[in-house]
Structure 1
């Protein structure tokens, strides 16, 4: 009797497991079943917001459901990242993360227990080098002018960055460390929009962020890109030299990127569908020409490649930041 009961229970459990697997298979096949929410963990109006909206609008044309972008700013992208982690892993909530989500937040341990294992990479879309931008009437014509002025009057040049301890802060700290210059650092929230306002109204003399973030100001003649922390010339901004051309003695290449991610445990089939959808949008002439116009470098990596790239990048930058802590230049 007990053997029959055990056998019956085993068959019941096996049947339930098969039903669950079959149900999951149908669920994946039916994806998407509703609109897809795309979280941008930054305020509206910045470069990341514009790029994600552009590629998502194109992707939506070939997607069997609506895709809408929602800005969730705060905490160096931590607020938006937390919402992603708490979302159901069914592909109906994804996010576009940047440098801070992969580097700053885990290094500073801003979200206890957070690692990259809490999300699945879909693809990397762009890479953007950090750059120094000044007002159009600024007296500095190149990086050497700026460094010389900062050395002559330490603390007199006001630099706008996005959050203390974030990427743009690290870029500026490294520049100070490499050149011996001393700037007055002014921190704004995690948005290039506030940096734009500060530069225009004279609150700061220069800002550090990507050229793409400030493209409208540069194109309108209200601001000038001074240097880009890259080793290649940006075709969208031919008048802004890479640091290797401006001053070869300054070995500093830093910047951000935009990577699409989903919650951990999102099924492979869903990741593959999202990757294919966004890849087609990325390859479109409309998106490629638009990126060139705003001076942003297209840099596609698929799911597997971007996962490995993110781990390598994180390891390298953690090492750099730890060294700056030891020197007393950066605080954890």
Structure 2
């Protein structure tokens, strides 16, 4: 009887300890993993949002860049972290689409993490040098049809998001571009655009904002159905004369390890929502040309599942047609 009482007491104490730890969350600084290089768009947005968010907390939020494997390296660290909310991460398109579709992390699926919120959405866009003779998307498509494989377009990683965007554009228009890959680096795309190595690049307008603002580059189109307020001279694809409705881009979603308690997720969601709604964050996003796109934990989980299924289907069809390799 004494032994049973002792075991019961230990179990109650453990339960009480866990409950207290959750109630006290956060009780130490929160590590925020960014699975991309420092200085990029994702890094800047997560740092800005987290810096504002920590103003509502009794602890600091420190961002740590963990590069590699199209976000796989950072994602692995998140999944191995204790599910107590003290380690969270920002994930993007590759974490939800590229990695599971290519089976880069065997056994990985979205059940391995819990989503906190989506904070931004960035449509892909086509940008050309200011000196380019192509003034519209129609001009670019017409030239690529007239001389197939002559126009060089820079993307980030073969088989990744910007590659898929360009493949879909070719599939829907009949245009043929010479595709040049730059290992997941908008910085490399910028350099290639400036030195004439490519005729155009596919990435978000936010990635090339300094070039566009300085007059060195010009956005032709954004693959979205809404006007980007930060770039009023760049039309969404649905307002071009092409008749296309190709919408593609990336996003930033904050996530925690699977099994993180509900009350911890709720507190993190509320903290980031407050930061998201602040005038400081909203005005800053407008300045860099990124679209605020909040979805809370429940909504973003459903949205991510729907998006994954839709894009998996599109990518599988392109594989069947021999357009994309898995």
Shorter-chain TM-score: what band? over 0.9
Aligned-residue offset at 1:249? 2.3
Aligned-residue offset at 1:248? 4.2
User: 2:126 & 2:169 partners in 1: Cα distance?
Assistant: 11
Output the aligned Cα RMSD: 1.3
Q: Secondary structure at the match of 1:266?
A: coil
Once the two structures are superposed, the pairs formed by residues 5-84 of structure 1 within 5 Å of their partners are 7-84=1-78
User: 1:191 & 1:77 partners in 2: Cα distance?
Assistant: 13
Q: Secondary structure at the match of 2:122?
A: strand
Matched residue pairs, number?
326
Q: Secondary structure at the match of 1:77?
A: helix
- Deviating above 3 A after TM superposition, structure 1's stretches of 4 or more consecutive aligned residues are 7-10
Q: Secondary structure at the match of 1:186?
A: strand
Aligned-residue offset at 1:9? 4.0
Deviations 1:263-282 (A, max 9, x none): 11111121111111111100
User: 1:123 & 1:191 partners in 2: Cα distance?
Assistant: 25
1:273 to 2:273 alignment: no
Q: Which residue of 2 aligns with 1:175?
A: 169
Q: Which residue of 2 aligns with 1:192?
A: 186
User: 1:10 & 1:159 partners in 2: Cα distance?
Assistant: 70
Unaligned 5+ residue runs, structure 1? 1-6
Q: Which residue of 1 aligns with 2:108?
A: 114
User: 2:165 & 2:149 partners in 1: Cα distance?
Assistant: 17
Q: Greater shift after overlay, 9-18 or 118-127?
A: 9-18
Q: Secondary structure at the match of 2:181?
A: strand
Q: Secondary structure at the match of 1:112?
A: coil
Deviations 1:35-92 (A, max 9, x none): 1111111112221111111111111222211111111121111111111111111111
Contact 1:233–1:242 under 8 Å retained in 2: yes
Aligned-residue offset at 1:8? 4.1
Q: Which residue of 2 aligns with 1:310?
A: 304
Contact 1:42–1:191 under 8 Å retained in 2: no
User: 2:138 & 2:71 partners in 1: Cα distance?
Assistant: 33
TM-score, length-scaled by structure 1? 0.95
Contact 2:319–2:325 under 8 Å retained in 1: yes
1:153 to 2:147 alignment: yes
User: 1:35 & 1:196 partners in 2: Cα distance?
Assistant: 36
TM-score, length-scaled by structure 2? 0.97
1:299 to 2:296 alignment: no
User: 1:55 & 1:240 partners in 2: Cα distance?
Assistant: 26
Deviations 1:85-112 (A, max 9, x none): 1111111111110011001100110001
Unaligned 5+ residue runs, structure 2? none
